[in-house]
Amino acid sequence: MTKLFEPLSLRGTQLVNRIAVAPMCQYVADEGTMTSWHLMHLGQFACGGSGLVIVEATGVSPEARITHGCVGLWSDANEEGMRPVLEFARTYGTAKMGIQLGHAGRKASVRTPLEGGGPLPAKEGAWQTVGPSALAYAPDWHVPTALDAAGLARIRQDYEAAARRAVRLGFELIEIHMAHGYLLHQFLSPISNQREDGYGGALEGRMRFPLEIFEAVRAVVPDHLPVGVRVSATDWVEGGWDCPQTVEFAKVLDTKGCDFIDVSSGGNSPLQRIQVGLGYQLPFARAIKAAVQMKVMAVGMIIDGPQAEAILRDGDADMIALARAAMDDPHWAWHAARALGVVIPYPPQYARAHPDVWDPWKKRA
């Protein structure tokens, strides 16, 4: 049996394999509510053989969204818009469905990449952003309002409310977004957090609000459902958030019942200098896995089954997350199984494509 196609238990959620489709923003929601695009986009992954599919970064309030087109879970309409997607996945798919809850902080109120990106002007519906400190992401970006006690309390309540909605919908896993320069990452990093109160300064203070959010979500989610986090292990900027600090943060999360940590990097500064290559974020996952008991998810330039299998066999991670590779090939898991000599089930409607009855690669060889 391969490691990649070995089942995995996260509390009461049983995954058929170690492959996860990572959250991918699509920018086509309507006031935070999913559209038919999401049914197609997520439905193909649910039926593509992966063990887990995680819905894109989902704003816990209107102001938490990155763009006007981002998905949210703050209203009854948002909740109802997700229901058909989950019903499709349960009826036809093999993957468990998770959701990533997030708040964009100072990186909110921007145009979609399809519109060229960059901060929204007032005439296009810009809104006031917030952050740990009144520091803009870049010189031409909105200056956020530094969150006071009331603002911090409001955001905790927003996360709790969104988590309750996710549970009510039947999501089988919740991931809290603490990466890519969004609000909780902004609190962790000294680049964006220059507060002088108990939520800033040394590492303990900068970790405080992200840990409060994790505890708030964990408290309203039933014990049988897993809650984890996505982190950026480094800012890729000298003097910023880095892997040793991430390891310490992960150790504390581990003591608070965190079930998994999804290890990405970057996103908090335009000055970042990312060294991209195959598996370029694996050293971060490896360092964290050596320090914690929770499951570790590796992501970043993982392109095929043999590479993913080697990562798990080497003990660098417990799960593999895919984004662009899955978008390019929604049946990535089928093809990884074929490359590794593993037989996995297909949806009955696609049974004629199963290697047992039709294998063009074998015939071509």
Helices (H) and strands (E) in the chain, counts: 11, 12
Asked if 214 contacts 256 with a C-beta cutoff of 8 angstroms, the reply is: yes
Tokens representing 256 are 């608070």
Alpha helices (runs of H) in the chain, residue ranges in sequence order: 36-46, 76-92, 149-169, 183-188, 203-220, 243-255, 282-289, 305-313, 324-328, 332-340, 360-364
Of 27, 84, 19, nearest to 58 (Cα)?
27
What is d(CA 343, CA 359) in angstroms, rounded to the nearest whole number? 12
What is d(CA 40, CA 2) in angstroms, rounded to the nearest whole number? 30
What is d(CA 35, CA 31) in angstroms, rounded to the nearest whole number? 10
With 0-12 CB in 10 A as exposed, 13-18 as middle and 19+ as buried, what is 203? middle
Residues in the chain: 365
DSSP state of 84: H
Tokens representing 142 are 């909105």
User: Could you please report the per-residue DSSP string of 121-176?
Assistant: PGGGT----EESSS--SSTTSPPPEEP-HHHHHHHHHHHHHHHHHHHHHT-SEEEE
Largest CA distance in the chain: 67
User: Could you please report the per-residue DSSP string of 37-60?
Assistant: HHHHHHHHHHTTT-SEEEEEEEES
At residue 71, the 3 state secondary structure works out as coil
- Residues annotated as part of the active site: 182
User: Could you please report the per-residue DSSP string of 220-233?
Assistant: HS-TTS-EEEEEES
